[in-house]
Each structure stands twice: as C-alpha cells, then as structure tokens.
Structure 1
C-alpha cells in the first residue's frame, strides 16, 4: 500500500509540475504553438509552390509530346499515301502500259472510298512531248476516244490525266486535263522527274468546278520505262508519266487524328517557297494559350511548319484547382497541430486495449492448434531444432504403432528404414521453406509403410525449442496403384511402338516397290521404243501401210506407258512429300497458272474470271499442283465451245470452286473421277492419264479439306474444295490409302 500510495503521490506531483510551469508562463506556450503554426504554414506554401512549378512543366511537356504525336500521325498518313502510289507504280512494273480496264480493276480492289476517304482517287498522267495533232491521233489509236485536252493550245510538254479511278463524276470530268499546264502541279511534277522520287505539290484546287471548296494536295510518283536512270536527262528519255494521288487535307487531318486526345489547335504552313502558304488551320480553343510550339516536317520535297496552340491555363492544367484545394487543406492541417497531445493520449489508451485483445486472440489460437493436433486424422509431429520429437498426435502414434508418450524425445529420422538413403532429412537446411518427401516408415510388428511427409517451419513461444511441424500421410496403397498403372502404360507403349514400326516398314516396302517397278518397267519400254524406231527408220519401205501403222501404234503405246509411269511417281511424291504451310495468295497463283495455260494453248481463247483477294493456308507447291490440274481440266474440256468460260471463286462458307461450261460428265459416275486411271471421256476427244484428279484429292486431304464435283453432260462441271488453315497434315500412309 505504501508503494502504491507513493506512486500515486509522485504521479500527482509529476502532473502538477508542468501545469504550474505552464500557468507561470502562458505566453511561452502560446508562442510555441504560434511558431509551430508558422513553420507548418511556411512549409505548406513552399511545397505548394514547388508542386505548382512542377505541374506547369509537366503540362508543357505533355503538350509538346502531344504536338509530336500529331506531327507523327500526319507524317505517317502522308507516308501511307506514298505506299498507295507505289502500288500503282508496281502495276507499271508488271505491265508496260496498263489498259483502262486493268487500272480500274486494280483501284477497285483497293476500295479507296472506305479505306482511305481522304484520297479522291488514284490516277496516271502521261509525260508527252509531241505536237497536239500527233498526241490526239495516238490517243485515239490507243482506244481512249477523242482527245479532250484542257486547257487547249500548243505547248512543249503535256501531262494529261489518262486514268483516274474510282469512277466518280468529278474524276470522270478530270480525264484529259493537262496537269502540267498548272504552275503548282507542274513544279511538283518537274521535281519528281528531276529527282526520280515522290513529290508533293503545294495547295491546289482539287475539283475542276468553280465555286466548290475542295483545296488539297497532289502526290506525284514518276514512272519510268526501265528502272530509274541516274541523270535527269536520261530520265526524260524513259519517262512514261506520273502516278498521282489527289488528297483532301481536311479529311486527311481528320482521319490522322482519329482517336487522338489532346491539343488539336494548330495551323500548317508550306514554307518551301519564299512566302509561307497556308495548308490547314483549326481553332478549337478560345482565349490566350498557355503554351505554343512549332514543328518542321520534310515531306516529299516540301517543308511544312506546324504551329500548335495549347488551351488556356485552366484547361491545360486541370489539376490547378486541386493544387489550390491542397493548399487550403495544408493550412487547415496546420491548425490541427494543437490536437496532437490529445491524439497521443487517445492512442496510448487504444494501444493498451489492443494488447489485451491480442493476448486473448493468442490464447484462442493456441486452443485451436491443440484441437487440430489432437483430433486430426493425419499424423502430425512437432520437432525441435535437433530433429527430435517434441509432441506427436494420436494419429501419428497409430501410424508408427507406438504409444503417444513414448515418442517424445525420439529422433525423428530413427523412425524410417531409409534414413541413410539418397533423400536428405527434412530438418536439414531448406531456408525456411515447405518441403515434401515420400519415405519408408518402419512400423512396429514388421510392417513397412510408405508415407508422404510435409515439413513446414513453425515458430515456438519465447524460450521454447520448436522448429517445425511434420504431417505424415500413409500413401502405401496409392503408390501400389500407381505402379500397376505404370506397368500397363509401359505394355501399351511397347505395343504402339511395335505397330508403328511394322507400319513404317510396310510403307517403306511399298515406296521401294513403286520405285523399283517404275525403274524396271522403263528398261523394256526403252527397248520397245528404240527397236520400233529402228524398224521405222530402216525397214519402213519393206512394210506395207498397215504394218507401218501397227508399228506406229506400238511406239505410241510405249510412249503412253512411260507417261503413265511418270504420273504414278508424281502422284506418289504428292502423297509423301513433307507439308510446308504458309499463307498463299490463291488469286495470284491462279492468274499465273492461267498465263501458262494460255501460252501453251494460244488458239483456245477462254473467258477466265478469278475472284480477287482469295487466300489460304497451305503448301505452295501442292496448291499450285491442285490449281494446275483443276484449271487445266476446265481449260481442256471447254474446247469446241462457242464461248468457253471458266470461273474461280470463293463461297460465303469459305469453300473454293472452279466452274466451267465445257463437256461436263454424267453425275452417276462422279465416284470414278478421283480414282487413279479412271476416265469418263475417251482418249481421242480429250487426252489425259486419269491421274490429275486423284492427285487433287490427295492434296486436299493432306490439308485436312474435302472436295466434291457436280456435272452434267454438255452442261459444264463445278469442283468445290475446302482448305482449312488449322488442320494437321494427314500422315502419308493415310493419304496413300485414300
């Protein structure tokens, strides 16, 4: 009681001394509080000023980055137009002078109004240095009709619009207009001719109708007859004209900035010449801008200056009002410094309550752990740092067949038969991580069990040597079941390997047989052909007309036998060559095959229609073989027709088809079409070996697709096939069987 009273008394004295000191000098306490308030206010103002300057610099940097993005978008858009004009230039690389129909088909396939709305069309202007009368005569002989050259008059050089697609009314009216007669366009055309590079014009009137606001730009790309000569004089000698792209600046900028967020208030000036020429201007912001920035662009021989204006300061720095609010909050926080003492006292009280609660939580946690150890069906053991058992639950005692109390103090590794095996003890090292092992446990009574051990480090109480917790689960029956499954798997793998080897050997024997037969047959064929040729050359006078005919038929049969052998080998290679998948342009490949067919049979004019843009995933060599056979059959069986027609296209479901109006076939015998050496027409009417469609079917099946045929006698035929892009290659043995 005395000690408690002394403490209370000392406490009262301790409390009264600072109060007395404060009451003795109250001004000092108020002065200290005022100094704290002033220091906090000065700190808040300094931090606010620093943040404000940083925000201004950040906003300016963001504005400059946005201007760079806008300039980059415009530059990329103009680069896209160069690629577009380069596509037209590539047409002249493949055809010396495209016809209007070829130019129309090329531009129509690009779908310019939807894909590139800012481009009014894609055209070609010729480079002509002849008198007007010769030019008009050449224009009419080329099939362009009467020359309507505008403006009229004799000039040393002309640059009339010869092609301009798509077929809009404005583009049609532009045909025949002499672009070289207009100074701004002539400057760009001359620069393209002199440099051999794409050249962009200054601002011009795109439409040829007065009163319409259609100012824009024109990009010219020179077209030479052969390569690009090194000197301007040499370029003029081989100059054909210019591929040109009329561009609407407003639409170009609108699409270039699609999806762009940020400063879009800018003005573009062309400063290539002596005086700046306005190209484009926008005004999205009103008021004094917070920042300005200018950027120079070098674009196809022109120099552009883009002058950017940011929005006013309030819009350019949206976080400005947040900074003001932060300043107000900082000042208000300074006033809260008076409440620090009260807050500390309250915190101490709450800390004491929290400590009491944690003590109760620890007690309950200990109870839960004890219940989990006692009633768990899985064996659990607590180990000390030396690996000795500190405590074991009843489930672990039943697992080892020993009393629960007798396990305390036993070294944990002594309970296992494989303690000296390859597995390291669970309690050695580990870095405090959870570890798992499967060990052999020596059970009392002579039974050996396999147990799954899971070791997890757990801390003990202060002064208590507990290092980890081990859970032990009997997995003997599970391991025995796994061993039986593994034995069955090994047996199955052995059987699969045996069957695979037998099948591979059979395929190798078949391939060797095919090559052996083909090579063994060639020797007697060469003998028949050679001796029959000798008979024909030396003893033709000794034979009558029938004998010579018989001899000629023998030679023809031998020649046909050789062709059949070659066809058999080709079909074998089609079915067994490795598949190299890639993206194939079927439309272009079909056009190449059509050119080959036309060159081989120029006297058979076929109206061939190939749908553009058809693509497939597959082997280029095999797909070319497929098209050669199908298009070749269609080409062959349309002989004798008044208007032979062949069509290659793709249906909505993705299937491809080849349709002709030729001899056709009886639908009743469609099953024989894809069998080797099966023919539905005689050899005299249509030559062949009966191998082509069989090869086609193998190519389609190797790509995982299907093929079908429909026909009518004298009503044409249609072959329909699919080429799935994600199907696996069919194994060679399956292809051969098909």
Structure 2
C-alpha cells in the first residue's frame, strides 16, 4: 500500500486504499487460522485412527463371539444326533424350540440336518419315510448322483424355508465346498458369501458341523468320508449378524467384510473372484479409497475362510462437542477474520454506498411517479387528483369523457360543484364511518340535458411538499347499470306474477285430475258390480243351460271384472301418492326394512330366503311414503326370487360415480335390459300375470315417491340372474 505525502492529516483513506487494507487484514487472519488448522488436523486424524482401531477390535470380538455361539448351537445338534441314531422330527423340534432362535439369535434362519447318503441309502430312507408317513420323500433337484446331501430335518419351518426340506445341498458349489471341508477336517466350516440363503431373506452364510456315526471321529481323513452321517447346518442373515456385532453409538463408522479365500491358502477360491464382499454386498455402500476419513483393516481366520474386515470412520464423527473443539476453533478463527474484513470494508464502502443509495432512491421515486401518472391517465375509470380545497389539479381522459370537457378545462375547477344531489350530512357520516376512504353516489347534469348517475370513491393520498394531504377520487358512470337493474326488477315482478298464475292453473289442474280419478273409479265400480253380480247369478242359477265353453266364458267375464276392480284400486293408490303434505323426519331404513321382511316371511313361512340388511342406514323423508317405497322394492324382490334355488335379497348403501345410493338387489327372475324404459310406467309389466301376480303400479309408485323427495332411481337386470334398484333420498326436497 502506498500513502501519498500530500494527504491531509486526519482525513479518511481513499476507497481504493481502504479496500487494500481490508484485504491485507483478511489474508493475515486466514494465514494464522490455516497454521493452526494444519496442526489440529494432524492431531485429530491420529486420535480418530486410534479410536477406530479400538472400535474395530470390539466389533471383531463381537463377530467372533456370534460365530462361536452359532458353532456351539451346531455342536449341540451334533451331540443330539450322536446320542440318537436317527432323531425324530419332534426331537429335533424340541431341541430347536429350547434354543429360542427367533428371540435369542435373530440372525439365524433355522437349524437343519443334511444327511449324507449314497443312492442305495437314499432309496432305503425314502421307503422308510413312505412306510412311516405314507408320503414320498423327494430330493430337489432330482437326478442320479454318486452322493446326496438332502435336508431331512429343519426347524423352525416358515414360509421362506418351507420348500427347503429335501433340497440336496451338495448340488450348490458354494455349500458343497464348505460341507466337504467340514467332513475332511472334522470341524465346523463356513461357506463363501451367498446372494440368498432363503427366499426373501437376502444375502447370508451357512455354517456346517460334520456328524459321524456313533459319535466317533476317525483319525484317518480318508475314513471320515465312510463314517460321515451328515451335517448340522445353521444358515444366518448377514445384515442382522453384522448389526448385532456393531455396538450402538458408532456414528459415522462403516464396515465391510471381504472374503479373500480359504484359510491357509494364498490364492482365492477356484472359479471365484479375487475378493468376495460378504457385507455389504454392494461395494457402493463402503467409501472409496479416495474418501476422507480414518481406515483400518483386520484379517481373520473364520472356520476355514479368511475374512478381511475393513473399517472406515468419517471425519468429524468424534469431535468434541461445543464451539471450542478443533473444528469449532477453526470456525471461530475464520469468523473473526471475516468480521475484521467486514469492518474494514464497511469503513471503505460507506461513502460510495450512500451515494449509490441516494441515486437509486431518486431514480425509484421518479419511476414510481411515472407509474402513478400512467396508471391514472390511461385508466378506463375516471380519476381526478384534488388539493386540500377540493380543486382539480390533475385528471385523466376517462373523467373528461364523462364530464364532456377536456382535461385542460377541468384544471382548477371545484370538483364537488360539477355534481348535484349532494347531501352534506350523509357525506360527513360516511367519511366518519369509513375513515380515509368513503363512497357516495351523485347526479351529473350535462350541458345537453342528459342526466347521469355517477359513483364517487374518495381516498386520501399524500401530496407534495407544501400541499399537505390531497385526495384521489374515482368517478364511475353507473347510469346504464341502474337502468339495467330497474329493467331486471320489472322483469322479476312480471315473472313472479306469471309463476303465481301458472301455479294456480297447475293446482286447479291437479284438483280436477284427482276429482276425475275419483269420479272414474266410483262411476266404474257400479257397472262392474252389476256385471260381476249378474254373471255370478247366471252361473249359479243357469249352469245347466251352458256347456263347458259357455261356463268358461262366464268365468273369464268374472275374472276380467275382478281384474278391472284391482286396476281401479291401483289407480286410486297412484293418485294418493301424489297428494298430501310431505312431512320429513329422520328415518331408520334398516329397522323399517327388517319389519317389511318379517311381514313377508309371515305371509310365506315355508320359503327360505337369505336376506342381508346393512345396519345403520338412515335417511330423511316422509315415513309413510318411504315405507311404501321399501315395501314395493323388497316385495318385488321377494316375489321374483320365488323360483330361485338359493334366493338372496340385500339392502345396503353403495358409493359409485361420486354419489351415495341405497340399493335393493336380488338373484331372482330379473328382466330384459331392452325393456328397462318401461319399468317405472304405470300398468307396464315385463312378466306374464300367470307367472307373477301384480297390477304393474309398484315401481311407478316408487318413482313418484322418490321424485317427491327430490331423489332419483335406476334399475338394472339380467334375465335369470336378478335385478338391482338404486335410489337416493336427499336431505332437502328437489
């Protein structure tokens, strides 16, 4: 930095020299922090490596202890097999249940025994199993081999290992290598990593312990093959196995177990990769060599295999808590350096920043003023800016168009004097109630004699210096709107009168229709009674005068008069459904349906019908009409399931198409969908009278009742497969 000799004493440095001084302060502070960070980082890495070694020894000891426990479990199975020449499935189950594998050893998937058999021994064993349990013992995979190692005992049996019994483990190369190594060494051996040891269990390993006949291990390795009875095997999951070995609280530590071949061999397994990752299976889960952090590796001899345990500790996982740890101290140093730099920069930038702020505020004020002027001038609503005396100091073209004057002619004029209909008291009340914004409606009489109505909205806005508070007023011409509203009101009054007249006409028509129905029904009954009476008298008194054909004609006359009487009664029922006041109340449809079904069952006690009524069905409606509705629907279902072998009727609520429906369904005679449009017409029948009785008004009455409640009804059916009716009962009438 260069300081000029002609600089006056006591004056601040120029901005450029101030920036240079701030940069030097920052560089010096960061250099001191970097020197400290280098030493602290070396110490922290050494401590992290020492902690990782200790943690690795603890984890390795945990893995050894778990494997020893699994060996002891398999050795216990070997002892059981040595004590009992051929234990039963119950004895093996009792031994496994006594170990409580699921609770004490969650990584183990079970305990099994694979027998070593020649083809002749396998055939003898299959004959024994078939004689004992009448089930053929099958070996999977099938085929002729010089020796077999099928699983004959397995506990506990689950959905994942249910198909394992009978599996020949010698057919799997990885398992066969471990089984032969256990047979040759007379010691427990473990397999190389396997992708899956059980369906749905994931990667794992299997430990094998050889079982020799009579419990005696031959000294000669070649004799052990002949004396071998089988293997006790214990498959276990790798993820649970490792999770149980890693102590809690090891945040940031990652472990990988790598199978590097058979114990005592300098080369990997034949046919295998140079290194087989046991856990995790995906190497992407273990940090790559370039990732920062402490690393440590341990090579272990594990039941005939060599494992390399790789450990990685991510940096920062064991740092001291608080701000004064190694990283915290570095952060404090960097923060202090930045604060010093910021203070120096603030001193250097204050003047230039103040100048930029002043220029930006001036430019922002100028643009804000332009936006306000443009919004006011080009607005479609008339606007005027008033001073404290209520005089126009600015206006837009829309206001000039309303007042039929140019903006220049309006400058300086009294704004309130342009309008009539002013109520000073009302405006004072409006201003007091609304505060800074208030609205009034006034009249404008133009020079051409046209009277207009305008809506004024006053709002207080800050004026320029020396003017105090000014007002912004919006002027809207509402004449056309008021005229349209008046026309709408007049039209509504006319429409109400038309509706009242049409209602009276409809009421009279309904009354005349009801009177006509009663008149027709009563006038028709007298001749019907006469026809029925005289035909009965003729049949009774002059029966001998008629032959069989004549008597048949008289019977048909009487049947027709009876049918006519039933149709008249049905017509009266239809008229009653449309009359009377609709009284809505909360109804328990489930209880109402149960009562109706009980009445139907009493009428035909010999019928067996499976009726399902959903509990808790409720609706709002007229009790008598809704009971009539359910009686018709359930009665039809009862009637049309007469010929069904296993008659079924259901009444329930369904949700379909965004709507809630009540549904009555059956598996009776059904109907042809092509005639569904005739279902709800009066006196329309889709079945012959001699097949199913009825007048043909039940569904018509149902539709009228539902329409009176404001609901809808639909019907679907298939011949011979039943029918289904869905309806709604809204809370409010339609």
Q: TM-score, normalised by structure 2?
A: 0.42
Larger RCO, structure (CA 8 Å, separation 6 or more)? 2
- Which of 1 and 2 has greater Rg? 2
